[in-house]
Amino acid sequence: MTTPPGWYPDPDPGQRANSPSAERWWDGTSWTGQTRTKAAVRGPLVAGVVGALVLVAALVVSAVLTFAIGPGVSGVPRDEAGGAGPSSEPTPPEGGPGAPEEDGGTPGKPEGDVPATGVDLPVLDGWERDPFGPLVTTGEYKCPGSKAESCLRGSSMIIVAPTDTGDTEDAARNDIGRHAKLAYSKGTYGGIKSHEAVTSEKTSVAGQDAYRVRWKIVNRTKPDAYVESVAFTHPDGSGEMLVLRTGFDIAESAPPLSDMDKLAEGVTEESGGTGDSPGQDV
């Protein structure tokens, strides 16, 4: 197995000397010419998640969401409550990206998550678009559990769901726990103490049948947060399963929860499916 596509520390010593936070895109087989400064953690892409792209992640809100169960359930993150547990990561090729951190991956880059192409997210008032994928963020600040890292008050990104995930409900439920753990990791928020599934329902995204799972999580280090995973099939007719991961802090300076619905409602198919459309502002 090879390391999945994603943003990783730039292997070029010259670039690292100029910017210790420089990252380069790994396409799954080789380094590309795309570089950027390290994305904020999508917590709030784990501000992180990022990034993931990263992402994600987000999420990182970022990042970062795996949905499951009905309302009123609290306790451990989803992977310990019967959902998707941590996935085993492939060993990086020689000279390739480094290994993920134990508590959820490199800040700002959900390990193993591949950004979707051919779809776009709306840019709501006060939000910003990431130039390299379907990721929007808002409210960067120093992470409460690690002042050396940056988190986000809100983040939303679309990733490709793992293969063999079943229908949209299965995909959403199997993602929310991983997403929450990546977005609000031990290193940035002290880890998740408990969660409550506040929404679990059928919906639609970009004209496609979809399924939403939303959790309210309690972090060991404040703020607490809402995370959401919405699974839907790609509107291009390919049948590819995608997951919209969104995460919001519960804080005065965080975006209103209504933005979470607006982000899902505003997902569109990009004309030509090139992945580089500037998208719409809302």
Q: Is the dihedral angle over the CA atoms 217, 44, 138, 28 positive or is it negative?
A: negative
Most confident segment among 53-62, 96-105, 115-124, 143-152: 115-124
Asked whether 144 and 77 are in contact (CB, 8 A), the reply is no
pLDDT computed for residue 39 by the predictor:
56
Q: How far is CA 133 from CA 166, 198, 221, 272, in A?
A: 25, 29, 30, 15
pLDDT computed for residue 30 by the predictor:
80
pLDDT computed for residue 25 by the predictor:
80
Classify each residue of 185-210 as buried b or exposed e, where b means 16 or more C-beta atoms within 10 Å of its C-beta: bbbbbbbbbebebebbeebebbebeb
Q: Which residue has the higher pLDDT, 44 or 136?
A: 136
Judge whether residue 184 has pLDDT over 60. yes
pLDDT computed for residue 19 by the predictor:
63
Structure tokens that stand for 203 in this block: 């919906």
Residue range 188-200: mean pLDDT, rounded:
94
Q: How far is CA 86 from CA 1, 26, 83, 111, in A?
A: 17, 22, 10, 10
Q: State the pLDDT confidence band at 248, using cuts at 50, 70 and 90.
A: very high
Asked whether 101 and 60 are in contact (CB, 8 A), the reply is no
Structure tokens that stand for 168 in this block: 């949209």
Q: Which residue has the higher pLDDT, 15 or 36?
A: 36
| Overall residue count recorded for the chain in this entry | 282
pLDDT computed for residue 73 by the predictor:
24
Query: What's the pLDDT tens digit per position in 260-269?
Result: 999 999 999 9
Query: What's the pLDDT tens digit per position in 152-161?
Result: 999 999 999 9
Judge whether residue 90 has pLDDT over 60. no
